[in-house]
Amino acid sequence: MSSPLLSVSGLRVAFAGHEVVHGIDFAVEPGEKVALVGESGSGKTVTALSLLRLAQDATVVGSAVFDRQDLLAMPERALRVIRGQDIAMIFQEPMTALNPLLSVGEQIVEVLQLKMGLSRQQAWPKAIELITQTGISEAARRASAYPHQLSGGQRQRAMIAMALACQPRLLLADEPTTALDVSLRTQILQLIADFQKKNGMAVLLITHDLNLVRRFADRVLVMENGYVVEQGTVAEVFGRPRHAYTRRLLESRPERDVAEPTVSGVPALLAQASNLRVSYAVPRPGMAGWFGRGEFVAVQGANFAIQAGQTLGVIG
């Protein structure tokens, strides 16, 4: 039997003497998709951050053996080699994880130069290729955009492109779809699954969305108040939950991601937009920037109407 890619034993995490993760044990096999689930405050994100020693001001004890190396005991210099290359992380909020002063393309290039040793000339087309693979349209143009110039879904995809740039063996995905609408959640999940299948990487998915877990994961770990209270395959945990907390989580999950609203009658029209266009000036790349600024079109030809009592959902 092959050794686990990641084996966590006796992991304890404390802040200012207050312990928030209490001696948990789990493993992730090569190519496996494991979901770590629980309510907010259960210790999911702290657990993931602690594996890479990114939990600020935390006292972390125990072991986290990745490919026969203890991540919690190795020198910081050695861990920096593993971070972003062998183990990558998708953070919960891309707007704070991405550098606002660099274009998304430059940030991917920086990863490729630092971790893969590529020159800028080699890294730039690779960055555009990664952006294209994540499903962002007009990748060459979007690569020159700054994070605030992209939609939430595009920022999330850009962060995924950065995380997957070095083809990591393990991906830590912390609530990667929380702030996105239903259609984008499905697309982002499929994107991660496609990369996982193509490259054989393992995934540790941190989430509270049990419907998402059921569609994505092979195995589930349930956390409550810093303890892993149950773990097993998706079929076992969803079909025959043993712990009372797991049963409460399953009973509280929505049966559908979206409820279809019903509206009766013909309400009054409150607002209407026809052929709406939004654009703003952006720096042109290279020497072209000396001769003026270019135009970035954010919205083109949008049409919608809102009636009294309606809720209009904008997705994409």
pLDDT (tens digit per residue) in 13-38 = 999 999 999 999 999 999 999 999 99
Mean pLDDT value across residues 134-157 = 89
Give the pLDDT confidence of 190-224 residue by residue, as tens digits. 888 888 888 899 999 999 888 889 888 999 999 99
Provide the sign of the torsion angle of the four alpha carbons 49, 81, 178, 109, taken in this order: positive
Tell whether the model's pLDDT for residue 179 goes beyond 80.
no
C-alpha neighbours within 13 Å on the C-beta side of residue 161: 30
For residue 34, the tally of other CB atoms under 10 A from its CB is: 21
Which position has the higher pLDDT, 12 or 208?
12
| Residue 80 pLDDT greater than 80, yes or no | yes
Q: What's the mean pLDDT in 291-314?
A: 77
In the chain, DSSP assigns E strands to 6-15, 18-28, 33-37, 58-66, 69-70, 87-90, 170-174, 202-207, 219-224, 227-233, 269-283, 293-307
Q: Which H or E run contains 50?
A: helix 44-51
Distance CA 290, CA 284 (A): 8
Which contiguous run of DSSP H or E holds residue 192?
A: helix 182-199
Q: Which residue has 């279809």 as its token pair?
A: 260
Instruction: With beta carbons less than 8 A apart as the criterion, state whether 263 and 310 touch.
Output: yes
Q: Measured on CA atoms in the order 57, 61, 62, 63, is the torsion positive or negative?
A: positive
Distance CA 72, CA 64 (A): 6
- What is the model's pLDDT at position 311? 83
Q: How many CB atoms lie within 10 A of CB 43?
A: 23
Give 302 or 225, the one with higher predicted confidence.
225
- Answer yes or no: is pLDDT of 246 > 50: yes
What global pTM score does this model have? 0.76
Q: How far apart are the first and last CA of the chain?
A: 44
Write out the DSSP string of 102-154: S-HHHHHHHHHHHHH---HHHHHHHHHHHHHHTT-SSHHHHTTS-GGGS-HHH
Provide, rounded to the nearest whole percent, the portion of the chain with pLDDT above 70. 90
Whole-number CA gyration radius for the chain: 22
- Least-confidence region, from 37-41, 105-109, 286-290, 305-309: 286-290
| Highest mean pLDDT: which range of 13-27, 106-120, 176-190, 289-303 | 13-27
Q: What is the 8-class DSSP label of residue 253?
A: S
Q: Are 89 and 60 in contact (CB under 8 A)?
A: no
Which tokens hold the place of 309? 């009592």
- Average pLDDT along the chain: 86
Q: Is residue 266's pLDDT more than 50?
A: no
Q: What is residue 254's predicted lDDT score, i.e. its pLDDT?
A: 67
